[in-house]
Chains A and B, each alone.
Chain A
Amino acid sequence: MRAVIFCAALAALGMATPLAAAEVSIPVLVPITGFLSLEGTSQRNGAMLAIRNAPAGLNVRADVADTGTAPDVAVNALERALGRDAPTAIVASMLGTQVLAMLPIALEHKVPLLTVSGTASVTEKGNPYVFRFFPGDAITKVAHVRYAAEILKAKRLALIAQTTEYGQSGRAAIEAIAAKLGLEIVYEESVDVQLRDLSPVLGKVRAAKPDVLLLHLHAGPTALAIRQAAAMNLDIPIVAGSALHQPTTAALLEPAELRGVCAETNASPVSGGSPEMERFLQQYREQFKSEPDGYALGQYDGVMMALQAAAQGAATPAALTAALSSGTYRGLAMTYKSDGKGNMAHSAIIVCYDGRSRVPTVAKRYDDIDGVLAR
């Protein structure tokens, strides 16, 4: 009798004792200072919000470190994170030159990097430990050019790109896609990120008489170009790169300056569109007192995918890498799946401004551009 009571007590104790939570460490190494700090802050916020919403059964540690703008700073931050504890995954800077510098170390330590860098070469090094949750140039630039061709009926394009790695990889992608679609680039120029007066470039664009002007610039120069184009009455439809969709970029411009301007991006959280997106928007605004952009959402989705996989048992770097490489995840922005090289995002949207507000509407969605999801 006493043995039965003892066993029953043991069983009751087992049921009352909760299962130990799985421990997961995801350091967040992003540019908080420097010219990409706006985007890096979005990355950080998206990652931290995902960690806050981590599935039950996970105990997540996340230390944030600033990678600035130099590759060696990012490398040092990564090495410190790897030396401090055993991270399950790393949220890696979206600055292309920094991610490229971090890749060999991730390979050596076999730790997956979760990034939203748009630079094409990040997933072209044969490194199995990088996972990009933002559509690369091969996806976004297709949407960029196709919108100009299919919706705006453009045959002649003008292109202004940045001289940075980001700008030049986008420029190369646009040139290739335009050639494939039989479009002529009648004028193109690459400009330094510090250039203030873009009116000479815009004047030459006007003289070339394109049907559409494509911009592939960082946030500040994008706003400058659009403002100066409006001041010059350029009167050529503009489709900008993803930098414009950021609420902080649009905030630099008057709504009237944005009239008719469109931009490609992975997602536009401020445009809403679903109850889940509205919930994300509300949480983000409450926690960070700012508006989320596509980088924040992409990073959120990426970290959530990793946390979901960890909650289902993939709580080591090796297991998580395998899960990210083979799994599919339906995020807020889109459905993610690796193409075998670490490109997880295969869709893009075009948003347009009506000239009455700074909140764009989604004008066109391009899903599964490279067919990976359908495989």
Chain B
Amino acid sequence: MNSPSVPSNDAAPLLELRDLKKSYENGRIEALRGVSLTIAAGDFLAISGASGSGKSTILHLLGGLDTPTEGAVLFRGQHVGKSQNGVPSIDLDTYRARWVGFIFQSFHLLPSLTAMENVQVPMLGNKAHSHHREGRARALLVELGLEQRLRQYPSQLSAGERQRVAIARSLVNDPQVLLADEPTGNLDSVNSDKILQLLAEIQARRGMTLIMVTHDPDIAASAPRHVIMKDGRICN
């Protein structure tokens, strides 16, 4: 797959969070209380913290799933979402479709589709030819060791296999940033290790930026870069 054209400002960091605040229920609940963070291309960053510390909120804002109450998320110097102060912006749908891949704790595969079909879903409706979609999905699943499981439905796959299908799906549009929300949270220790190793290999091989949220301090410590969240702030 040809990589889509990257927003123009090459001097800017890949991702930048500027004094990010997020509150709910008219400010009654403050999930983020001013988070600033710079993430370079190729970083492998783990975000850890207790439940309610704001780590998932950061991931949602980084992934363009939600918008901040205050502050900004910048991707290569462009605002993700609405433009502010004349800074160019990138639309949320385009951002999610082209630059970001998501991996969820509960895999979130579509039960009525096979592994091959699940991987093709992000490409449906774009201009990719059907042969290209199929070839791309097959190549990724083979790369992740699922060549014998292409036609299986999620219910016929083990938890580890499901997460590998979800990883293949997250890679299908060739994103620059991979966001993983507790990717091992539903796996046993053996599968958990395998998935972590797989993610690290993918990140290294492709030179991608990997941002992983986890509540497990050991997993977080295994990442080259690690931030700890507490009460909506970075505390390390």
Bound pair (A, B): no
